[in-house]
C-alpha cells in the first residue's frame, strides 16, 4: 500500500502539507491541493481515517437536524451546507427529525460522545438539554433559520419582523386595508416575529388590527388552502392575503381559483421564502426572498470555526432579505394608482 511519504514526494510537498490538504483543505492553496490530490490518485493512497480520528480527536462529521426534508426551503439550506462542508473536508449526517425532541437529543449525544464534532439545529429547540455541557463554553452547535432567543451558541437568522413589516407596508402602499395573514405554528419564533412585523406595519399606517384576519396554518400547502377558504367566507373578506411561507401562499392561490376569484384583481396574495416554485405559480408569487443556501453555508462555516477554536464567542449573524414583486399582487379593488 502507498504511504503518505510517497504522496508527499510525488507532489513535492511535505507530509504535513499532504495531511492538511486532505483533512483541512481550506488551509492550503487550490494549486497545492490539486497537486496533492493528483498524487493521491496516482499512488492509490488511502488514508487511515480511524488513525486520523485518533490523532486529532475529531471525526470530521457534522450532524444536521432538519424538522422535515419535505420543506422546500430547508432543501435549499441543506444544499448550501453540503457544498460548504465538502469544501472544508467535513461530512454531513442529515437527520430528518420531524421535530421529535427525543430523536434530536439522541443525535446531540453523538456529539457529546465525540462520534460527531458538532451539530446544526434548524428549529428552536436545544437538543443538548439534560446533557452535562461546559458552562463557560458555547455549545458545539449552530442554531439556524428558526432560532432560540437565548442560547450559548452561534446563530444564523433573518430579521423576520422587519421582513414581515416590509411586505405588509408594500401591500398597504397598494391601497389594501383588509390584509389577512396566514401564520405558521403558534410555538414557532418565526410566527411570533412575522406576526409582530405585520401588526406594527398596520399600526403605523393607522389600520386597526382585526383578529379575524389572522388565520392559523402549519407551513403546508393544505393549510394555506384551508385558511384561504375560511378567510374568504368572512362577512368582510380580505383584499390581500400575506402568507408566512410560499407553500401556504400557493395553497391559497389554488383555493382562490376554486372560488372563482381573480388574483390579483380581486385578491392579492404574497408569500415568504422565494422557493423555486414561487416564480412559476399562476400567477407568479410576490414574496420575501431569503438566502437559503447562504443560511446553510454560513451555519457550516460558523460551526467549523467553533470546532477548530477560531470562535471565542457565540456570534449572531443576520442575513439580508429582498421583497420580490411579481404578478400575484396588485392595487386593492377600487384603489387608484
Q: Which residue has the cell 372563482?
A: 260
Rounded Cα–Cα distance for residues 122 and 186 (Å) = 17
For the segment 233-247, what is each residue's pLDDT rounded down to a tens digit? 999 999 999 999 999
Q: Which residues pair with 273 in a beta bridge?
A: 289
Residue 165's nearest CA partner among 188, 208, 196, 192 is 196
User: Which residues of the chain register pLDDT less than 50?
Assistant: 50, 54
For the segment 269-283, what is each residue's pLDDT rounded down to a tens digit? 999 999 999 999 999
Q: Are strands 322-324 and 287-289 parallel, antiparallel or unpaired?
A: antiparallel
At residue 250, the pLDDT reads 98
At residue 294, the pLDDT reads 97
At residue 313, the pLDDT reads 82
Q: Which residues pair with 19 in a beta bridge?
A: none
Cis amide prior to 264 (ω within 30 degrees): yes
- Show the CA angle centred on residue 280, arms to residues 241 and 220, nearest 5°: 50
Amino acid at each position: 500500500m502507498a504511504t503518505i511519504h510517497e504522496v508527499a514526494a510525488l507532489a513535492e510537498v511535505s507530509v504535513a502539507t499532504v495531511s492538511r490538504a486532505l483533512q483541512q483543505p481550506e488551509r492550503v492553496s487550490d494549486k497545492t491541493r490539486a497537486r496533492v490530490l493528483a498524487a493521491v490518485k496516482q499512488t492509490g493512497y488511502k488514508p487511515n481515517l480511524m488513525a486520523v480520528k485518533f490523532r486529532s480527536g475529531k471525526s470530521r462529521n457534522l450532524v444536521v437536524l432538519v424538522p422535515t426534508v419535505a420543506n422546500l426551503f430547508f432543501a435549499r439550506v441543506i444544499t448550501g451546507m453540503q457544498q460548504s462542508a465538502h469544501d472544508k473536508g467535513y461530512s454531513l449526517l442529515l437527520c430528518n427529525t420531524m421535530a421529535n425532541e427525543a430523536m434530536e437529543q439522541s443525535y446531540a449525544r453523538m456529539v457529546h460522545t465525540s462520534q460527531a464534532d458538532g451539530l446544526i439545529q434548524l428549529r428552536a429547540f436545544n437538543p443538548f438539554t439534560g446533557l452535562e455541557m461546559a458552562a463557560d463554553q458555547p455549545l458545539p452547535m449552530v442554531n439556524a433559520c428558526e432560532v432560540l432567543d437565548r442560547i450559548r451558541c452561534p446563530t444564523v437568522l433573518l430579521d423576520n419582523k422587519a421582513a414581515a413589516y416590509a411586505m405588509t407596508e408594500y401591500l398597504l402602499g397598494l391601497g389594501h386595508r383588509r390584509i389577512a395573514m396566514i401564520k405558521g405554528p403558534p410555538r414557532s419564533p418565526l410566527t411570533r416575529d412575522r406576526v409582530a412585523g405585520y401588526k406594527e406595519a398596520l399600526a403605523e399606517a393607522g389600520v386597526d388590527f382585526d383578529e379575524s384576519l389572522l388565520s392559523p396554518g402549519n407551513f403546508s400547502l393544505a393549510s394555506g388552502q384551508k385558511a384561504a377558504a375560511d378567510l374568504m367566507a368572512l362577512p368582510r373578506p380580505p383584499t390581500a392575503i400575506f402568507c408566512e411561507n410560499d407553500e401556504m401562499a400557493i395553497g391559497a392561490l389554488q383555493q382562490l381559483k376554486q372560488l372563482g376569484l381573480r388574483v390579483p384583481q380581486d385578491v392579492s396574495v404574497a408569500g415568504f421564502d422565494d422557493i423555486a416554485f414561487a416564480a412559476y405559480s399562476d400567477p407568479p408569487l410576490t414574496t420575501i426572498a431569503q438566502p437559503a443556501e447562504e443560511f446553510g453555508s454560513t451555519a457550516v462555516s460558523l460551526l467549523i470555526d467553533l470546532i477548530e477554536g477560531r470562535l471565542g464567542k457565540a456570534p449572531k449573524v443576520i442575513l439580508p432579505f429582498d421583497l420580490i414583486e411579481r404578478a400575484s399582487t396588485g392595487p386593492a379593488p377600487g384603489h387608484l394608482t
